[in-house]
């Protein structure tokens, strides 16, 4: 269990500000990106040993300056924070698995055109995962992981797709889905079960996303 501490968050904010202040005077140097990386590695253990609620993590992320950090380094920083959110979720929230197996019922004709296209399976997997994230998915059931993988790769395998191959792909790509979902922040409405009709979607879960 994680115990959230405002002093802990204040220390993380203090260290982020210190790193950004240090880097601000060095932006013209040719090895500036390398210096950013060193600051990232300095911050990594500080962030890793911290316990942050979603609100605290959001405040830390908002303190990051896009003028200071290269976008790749900035993404790494955000991923560190996202990992802490996942690790320090409330126990009840963490235990609440979400069943999104009804997603195929919500997909528009345009979505099916994308899924049946020659676009790579990995790209489709990321697209479908992003859609699920916008619809509030954070903690999928095992069946939901399987559904996402099947939607992304079914056109490559066709009707003869065997179960062992499905399980192999699920094992191979489950960690990617987890990583992509971890980048989504908190949502005001968290669906335990995705409805089979778009009309039954709460307005603040991005109702339009399913048929965008």
Residue 1's pLDDT is 43
Residues 69-116 have pLDDT tens digits of 999 999 999 888 888 776 665 544 555 899 999 999 999 999 999 999
Of residues 57 and 135, which shows the higher confidence score? Answer: 135
CA distance 78 to 101: 29
Confidence of residue 205 (pLDDT cuts 50, 70, 90): low
CA distance 71 to 140: 29
| pTM (predicted TM-score) | 0.55
CA distance 161 to 132: 24
Of residues 101 and 162, which shows the higher confidence score? Answer: 101
Among 30-39, 122-131, 151-160, name the one with the lowest average pLDDT.
151-160
Q: What is the mean pLDDT of the chain?
A: 84
| pLDDT of 209 above 60 | no
What average pLDDT score do residues 194-212 get? 70
Q: What is the 3-state secondary structure (H, E, C) of the chain?
A: CCCCCHHHHHHHHHHHHHHHHHHHCCCCCCCHHHHHHHHHHHHHHHHHCCCCCHHHHHHHHHCCCCCCCCHHHHHHHHHHHHHHHHHCCCHHHHHCCEECCCHHHHCCHHHHHHHCCCCCHHHHHHHHHHHHHHCCCCCECHHHHHHHHHHHHHHHHHHHCCHHHHHHHHHHHHHHHHHHHHCCCCCCCCCCECCCCHHHCCHHHCHHHHHC
Residues 180-193 have pLDDT tens digits of 998 887 777 889 99
For residue 106, what are the CA distances in angstroms to 16, 93, 126? Answer: 42, 25, 17
Residue 210's pLDDT is 52
CA distance 175 to 164: 18
């Amino acid at each position: 269990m994680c115990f959230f501490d405002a002093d802990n968050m204040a220390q993380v904010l203090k260290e982020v500000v210190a790193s950004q202040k240090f880097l601000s005077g060095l932006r013209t140097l040719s090895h500036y990106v390398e210096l950013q990386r060193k600051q990232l590695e300095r911050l990594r253990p500080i962030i890793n040993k911290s316990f942050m609620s979603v609100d605290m993590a959001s405040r830390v992320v908002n303190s990051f300056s896009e003028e200071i950090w290269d976008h790749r380094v900035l993404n790494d920083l955000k991923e560190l924070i996202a990992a802490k959110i996942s690790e320090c979720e409330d126990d009840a929230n963490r235990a609440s698995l979400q069943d999104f197996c009804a997603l195929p019922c919500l997909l528009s004709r345009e979505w099916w055109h994308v899924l049946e296209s020659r676009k790579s399976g990995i790209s489709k997997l990321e697209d479908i995962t992003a859609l699920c994230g916008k619809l509030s998915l954070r903690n999928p059931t095992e069946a939901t992981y399987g559904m996402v993988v099947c939607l992304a790769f079914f056109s490559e395998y066709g009707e003869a797709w065997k179960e062992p191959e499905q399980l192999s792909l699920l094992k191979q790509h489950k960690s990617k889905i987890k990583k992509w979902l971890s980048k989504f922040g908190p949502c005001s409405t968290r669906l335990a079960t995705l409805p089979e009709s778009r009309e039954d979607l709460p307005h603040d879960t991005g109702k339009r996303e399913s048929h965008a």
